[in-house]
Chain A
Amino acid sequence: MINFTINNQPVTAAKGETILQAARKAGFYIPTMCYLEKTMPCASCRLCVVEVNTTDGLILSCQTPPTQGLEVTLESERLQLERTNIMRMYDVNHPLECGVCDKSGACDLQNKTLEFNIDSQHFTAKEQPRKIEHWGLINYDPSLCILCEKCVHVCNEIIGDDAITLQFGGYKSAVIPKNSEKLDCTFCGECIAVCPVGALVSSDFQYKANSWELSPVPATCAHCSAGCSLTYEVKHTSIATGDAERIYRVTNNFEYATLCGAGRFGFDYDVQAQKDTALFDKAVSALRNAKAIRFSSMITNEEALILQRLKETLGLKLFNEEARAYQSFMQAYGSISGKATFGGTLDAIAQSDAIIILGGRITTDNPGVRYAMTTAARHNGAKIIYMHPLEDALMQNTVTQFVKYEAGSEEGVMAMLAKTLLADADLSDEFRAFFNELDEGYLCAESNVGDEEFARIEKSLRRAKRKILVIGSDVLNHDCAQNIARLAALVETYTDFSLVVIPQNVNTVGVSLVCDLDCDENIAGVVGYNARGDFVMGSFVESDLVLPALNSQEGTFVSMNYQLLPTNVAIRFEGYCLNDLANAVGLRMANTIDYTAQLPMAKGFNGTAFDHLGNFYGSLGEDNRGYQLEVSDVEVNGTVASVNALPEFNGTVIYRCNPVNQFNSYTARTTQLERDSALHGSAQFAAAARISDGDTVEIQSNGSVEVRTFFLDSNLKGTIALSPTFDTEFGVMNESYRFEKIKIMRVGS
C-alpha cells in the first residue's frame, strides 16, 4: 500500500495502481479523453495532467504510479489552462454537425467542450480533404476523429485483430486499416463502442435513431458460453409500420467488458407468433404423449428447470447430448479434484502469465476466451501455448508456441502434457505409476508431438506464476473425454494451474447443473425444443409451435465462469412460452422467472429471486451481474485409466467449425452478420480431395449429406477442412467429436 495525498486528502493506492486509478477509487474526478480502464494508457490526450510536489512539470496521472508521501494537486489555474488549451485543440475544425452526428449527445468531446467552456475557435487550420470510409459493418468519418487511439489500443490489446493503426501525418492523421486497403478484421465492433465521438459508427445503425430515443434493456449475450453482458437498445420500428419495438443496436460497458461481433451485430433473431389455441392444444397433447424431450442448450435455467419438472411429473426422458457430454466431463473432473467446478475464470485468463490451450478453435468457439488470452499476452506478456490439429491465422500474433497434434489424439497429448506439468508434483503412487507406464514413444509418434515440444512447454512455463489450462470443446465430445477430464483435474489439483473448460453453448453449464439428462436413444415420440423431434417447438427453425427466442425471454444463464447471469426481454413476444405449456400439463407457476428462486441449491444456486438479481458493472468495474455459484465439494473416487490405442483420422477429414461471428441458427438469420457457409480447405486438402476453389461439393458423413461450395483458404494449412454447422438445421450443436472422416464428391461436373 502506498499512502499519498490528493488535494491534501490522504489516499492509498495498491501496488501497480496509477494516480488516476487511485484518485477515481477515492472519488476524485480527473478528466480524461483517451483513457480506457481495460487497456494500457494511450497517453494521447494529456488531459489527465496533475501537479505533484516532487517535480515542476505536469505529469500524466494515467500512467504514473504514486510514490509514498506524494502530494498531488488536481486543480490549479495552470492545470485548468493546460486542459482548456487541450480541449481547444480538440475542437479545431471539428465539424459542427452535432445535430446529425450519430453520437447524438452521448459524446465525450461534447461533454468536455461544455465542461471547459470552449465556445469559440482561436486557432486556424486548413481543412484537409477527408473521405468517409465504408468498411462493411463499420463506417469511419476521419473529420470527426479526434485521434484518441482508443480504437487502436482496444483492437490490438484486447481483441488481438490488430487491424487498425494510426497514420501519422500531423493534422492529416487518421485511423487506417493496418497493412491493407480495406479493413480486414473479425468485425467485433469494439472500436465503435470505445469511440468517444461519432467517427467510428455502425453502418447499419448510423442515422437511424438518436441515443435518447432508445430504451436500454440490460441482458446477456446468447451466442456463446462466455455470457458477455450487453444492452439491447430498442425503439418503435417506424412511423409507417407501427408501434412494434425492434432492437436498433447493441451496446456494452466497454470500459470493463468486451463484446464480439456476434453479440454486437447479431441481435435481430427474434421470432413472432400469436396465441393460437389449436396449435397450443396440439403441442400439449404432443407433450402428454411424448416419451422424451430433446432440447438444445440455448435455453434459460428456468426453462431447463421446467423441463426437469416435466421429466419428473410426466416421466419423460431428457435428451441433450451436448450438455450431457459436458456433464460427464465435469463429473470425471470432480472425481479427481473433489470440486464440482473448475477453478479458472475468464478474468483469471486475462490476468494469467501462461496459458495452455488444448482442443478448441478459440477464435470462433468462444471470442471471450480469445480476448482474455490476447489481454494476457499483451498486458502480462503471457506465454500462450496453443495445442490443436489446425493452426489459426487469427491467433498467430498472440500464440507463442503452437503445438500441432493429430486429430483424435487428444488423450495422448493430454497425458503427455500432464506428465510434463506434473513432473515435480507430489503425486500418489497410483498416479505416478500411471505416468511411468505411459508409452511415450507410441503417444508421441501417434499424436505427432515430439518430446522436444513438451520440453519447450516446460521451459517456457518455468517462470510463470499465474498459469491457466484451457480445455476446448473438441475434448468434451471425444471418446475418452472422461479420462482427459481426470488428467486435467490432476494438473489442476497438483500444480498451480487453474483449469478452464469451454462449454459450447450459452447455457450448457446451466443445463448440466439443472437437468438430469438421459442418453439419447433416437426413439420415436420425441418433442424437440430447438432440436429435432417428431413435434418441434422453439425459435430456431419453422416449428410446429413457435416459442420465444432468447432475446424475448426473461431468465438466467450460467456462464463458463459459473456465474448466474440474468437476461431480459428486449422484444415482446405475443405467443405462448414453455411455461404456458408446462402449466397446461400439470405444473403450476405464474411466470417463468418464478423458477429462478427454485434452481437447485445443491448445485450451487443460492435461491435469489430473479427480480433481485443485478445486471450491471459498478462505476469502478465491480461485477454486479447475477451471482457466483457456490463451489460444492464432491467425492474423490476417480482413477486415471491407462491410455490405449489412439484413434486415427486418415483420409478426408473435416473439422466442424463455424466462421467468425457465426454460432447457431440465431446468428445465421441476423441481417448484418456475414453468412459464410462454404467448406474452407487448404490447397493441400483440395489436391487430396481433387476439388478446386468454387466447386460445389457433396459431403457424406455418418449417413448425412451436405452440399457446400468449396473455398480455397490461403490461411489454412494441412489436410483438414473446416465445415460450418451454424447454417444446418437447428444450427447443430456439436453432439459428436468435431473431427470427422467424410467422403467428398464434386457435384454437377
Chain B
Amino acid sequence: MHVEPFTDRNVSEHSAYYYVDIENYPVTGWDKFKQVVKRSLKGELFVGLWVVMREMIKFDIHTVKYPLEKLPIGPRYRAVHKLLRLWESGFERCIGCGLCEKICISDCIRMDTRIDENSRKEVTEYSINLGRCIFCGYCAEVCPELAIVHGGRYENASEQRAHFVIKDDMLTPLDFLTAGQQEEYPGFGAITPHEDERVSKTPLAY
C-alpha cells in the first residue's frame, strides 16, 4: 500500500502537501454581490441532482431497507445482554456469583440471590439498568459460566427502558432452548479456541 510521505510538512515539490487554489474572500460589497450572482446562476445544484438521477435510473441500489432489512453485526458486537441456559438440562447458567455486579463500572447490575430447597444458590432477580449501562462488556467477560452475554439486539426503543432489563426478558425462554434456538456467542465471554488443550485434569484414581 502506498503511504504518502506526510512526515515532511513543508510545502515543496517533494512533499505531499500542496497549496489549494482558493480564491481570496471577497472584501468589498461589490465583490460579495458578484460572488452571490455567480454561484446562483452557475447551476451547480443540478450537478448534484444529476448524480442522484443517474443512480436512480441504473436500478442498482445499495440502501439497506431498515427496519425491513438489517445489516449483519459482528460477533463481538456488544448490544443488549442475554442470560443463557445450559443446553442439556435447561437450568440457568447463572450461579449468582455476583462478579458481574462487582465488575460493572457503571454500577448498573443488581441481583437477588437466595438458598433454594436443595441448598443451592438461586438467582431470583437479575436486572441491568440500561440507562446507565455503557456496554463495555466487562460483565460478559468476567462471567465464569458464560451465562451473561451481549446479544445482538441494538434497538433499544420502547416505552420504558425497564422493558429490556429484567431477568425474564434476558433469560432464554425454555421453548426457545428446546427448539435449539439459543445462540452461542463466539464474542465477548466465549471460551477462546483450543481451551481444551490447556485444561489439565484432576487425577482420579478410582
Max chain A C-beta neighbours (<10 A), residue from B120, B126, B202:
B202
Is the beta-carbon distance between B113 and A208 smaller than 8 angstroms? Answer: yes
Chain A, Cβ-Cβ closest to B126: A239
Rounded to whole Å, the gap between the CB of A474 and the closest CB of chain B is 42
**A132-B119, A210-B102 as given contacts; A122 in contact with B203, CB under 8 Å:** yes
| Residues of chain A lying within 8 A (CB to CB) of residue B205 | 124, 126
Chain A count of residues within 8 A CB distance of the other chain: 23
Show 30 A/B contacts (Cβ-Cβ < 8 Å), sorted by A: A99-B95, A99-B145, A100-B95, A100-B96, A104-B98, A120-B202, A121-B202, A121-B203, A123-B203, A124-B203, A124-B204, A124-B205, A124-B206, A207-B113, A207-B114, A207-B115, A207-B122, A208-B115, A210-B102, A212-B98, A213-B98, A213-B101, A213-B102, A238-B125, A239-B111, A239-B125, A239-B126, A239-B127, A240-B112, A240-B125
Mark contacts of A122-136 with chain B using CB atoms, 8 A cut-off: 1 yes-contact digit, 0 otherwise.
111010000010000
Is the beta-carbon distance between B121 and A239 smaller than 8 angstroms? Answer: no
Q: A100-B121, A207-B114, A239-B111 are in contact. List 18 more A-B contacts (CB 8 A).
A: A99-B95, A99-B99, A100-B96, A122-B203, A124-B203, A124-B204, A124-B206, A126-B205, A132-B119, A139-B119, A207-B96, A207-B115, A210-B101, A212-B102, A236-B110, A239-B112, A239-B127, A240-B125
Mark contacts of A202-224 with chain B using CB atoms, 8 A cut-off: 1 yes-contact digit, 0 otherwise.
01001111101100000000000
| Residues of chain B lying within 8 A (CB to CB) of residue A203 | 115
Is B97 at the interface (CB under 8 A from chain A)? yes
Is B152 at the interface (CB under 8 A from chain A)? no
Is the beta-carbon distance between B102 and A126 smaller than 8 angstroms? Answer: no
The list of the 7 closest CB pairs from A to B, nearest first, reads A99-B97, A239-B125, A207-B121, A210-B98, A124-B205, A100-B121, A207-B115
Rounded to whole Å, the gap between the CB of A13 and the closest CB of chain B is 42
| Residues of chain B lying within 8 A (CB to CB) of residue A122 | 203
Mark contacts of B128-161 with chain A using CB atoms, 8 A cut-off: 1 yes-contact digit, 0 otherwise.
0000000000000000110000000000000000
Is B192 at the interface (CB under 8 A from chain A)? no
| Residues of chain B lying within 8 A (CB to CB) of residue A207 | 96, 113-115, 121-122
Rounded to whole Å, the gap between the CB of B154 and the closest CB of chain A is 25
| Residues of chain B lying within 8 A (CB to CB) of residue A238 | 112, 125
Chain B, Cβ-Cβ closest to A209: B113
Mark contacts of A567-590 with chain B using CB atoms, 8 A cut-off: 1 yes-contact digit, 0 otherwise.
000000000000000000000000
- Which A168-213 residues sit within 8 Å CB-CB of chain B? 203, 206-210, 212-213
| Residues of chain A lying within 8 A (CB to CB) of residue B113 | 207-209
Max chain A C-beta neighbours (<10 A), residue from B115, B120, B127, B206:
B115
Is B200 at the interface (CB under 8 A from chain A)? yes
| Residues of chain B lying within 8 A (CB to CB) of residue A120 | 200, 202
Chain B count of residues within 8 A CB distance of the other chain: 28
| Residues of chain B lying within 8 A (CB to CB) of residue A139 | 119
Mark contacts of B159-176 with chain A using CB atoms, 8 A cut-off: 1 yes-contact digit, 0 otherwise.
000000000000000000
- Which A123-164 residues sit within 8 Å CB-CB of chain B? 123-124, 126, 132, 139
| Residues of chain B lying within 8 A (CB to CB) of residue A208 | 113-115
Q: How many A-B residue pairs have CB under 8 A?
A: 58
Q: In the complex, A187→B202 CA distance in Å?
A: 39
Chain A, Cβ-Cβ closest to B127: A239
- Which B186-206 residues sit within 8 Å CB-CB of chain A? 200, 202-206
Rounded to whole Å, the gap between the CB of A125 and the closest CB of chain B is 8
**A100-B95, A100-B96 as given contacts; A206 in contact with B144, CB under 8 Å:** no
Mark contacts of B102-117 with chain A using CB atoms, 8 A cut-off: 1 yes-contact digit, 0 otherwise.
1000000011111100
Q: In the complex, A238→B167 CA distance in Å?
A: 14
Chain A, Cβ-Cβ closest to B112: A238
Rounded to whole Å, the gap between the CB of A119 and the closest CB of chain B is 9
| Residues of chain B lying within 8 A (CB to CB) of residue A99 | 95, 97, 99, 144-145
Q: In the complex, A209→B125 CA distance in Å?
A: 13
Q: In the complex, A123→B145 CA distance in Å?
A: 27
Chain B, Cβ-Cβ closest to A205: B115
Q: In the complex, A239→B110 CA distance in Å?
A: 7
Chain A, Cβ-Cβ closest to B99: A99
Q: In the complex, A156→B101 CA distance in Å?
A: 40
Q: In the complex, A139→B118 CA distance in Å?
A: 13
Q: In the complex, A208→B122 CA distance in Å?
A: 9
Q: In the complex, A239→B24 CA distance in Å?
A: 66
| Residues of chain A lying within 8 A (CB to CB) of residue B122 | 207
Q: In the complex, A123→B202 CA distance in Å?
A: 9
| Residues of chain A lying within 8 A (CB to CB) of residue B203 | 121-124
Chain B, Cβ-Cβ closest to A121: B202
Rounded to whole Å, the gap between the CB of A293 and the closest CB of chain B is 43
Q: In the complex, A108→B11 CA distance in Å?
A: 68
| Residues of chain A lying within 8 A (CB to CB) of residue B126 | 239
Chain B, Cβ-Cβ closest to A201: B115
Rounded to whole Å, the gap between the CB of B191 and the closest CB of chain A is 16
Chain B, Cβ-Cβ closest to A96: B202
Is the beta-carbon distance between B112 and A206 smaller than 8 angstroms? Answer: no
Rounded to whole Å, the gap between the CB of A143 and the closest CB of chain B is 12
Is the beta-carbon distance between B127 and A126 smaller than 8 angstroms? Answer: no
| Residues of chain B lying within 8 A (CB to CB) of residue A212 | 98, 102
Rounded to whole Å, the gap between the CB of A569 and the closest CB of chain B is 23
Partner among B97, B101, B102 whose Cβ is within 8 Å of the Cβ of A100: B97
Q: In the complex, A24→B39 CA distance in Å?
A: 88
| Residues of chain A lying within 8 A (CB to CB) of residue B101 | 210, 213
- Which A666-719 residues sit within 8 Å CB-CB of chain B? none
Rounded to whole Å, the gap between the CB of B81 and the closest CB of chain A is 15
| Residues of chain B lying within 8 A (CB to CB) of residue A240 | 112, 125
Q: In the complex, A139→B121 CA distance in Å?
A: 14
Q: In the complex, A238→B112 CA distance in Å?
A: 6
Q: In the complex, A121→B201 CA distance in Å?
A: 9
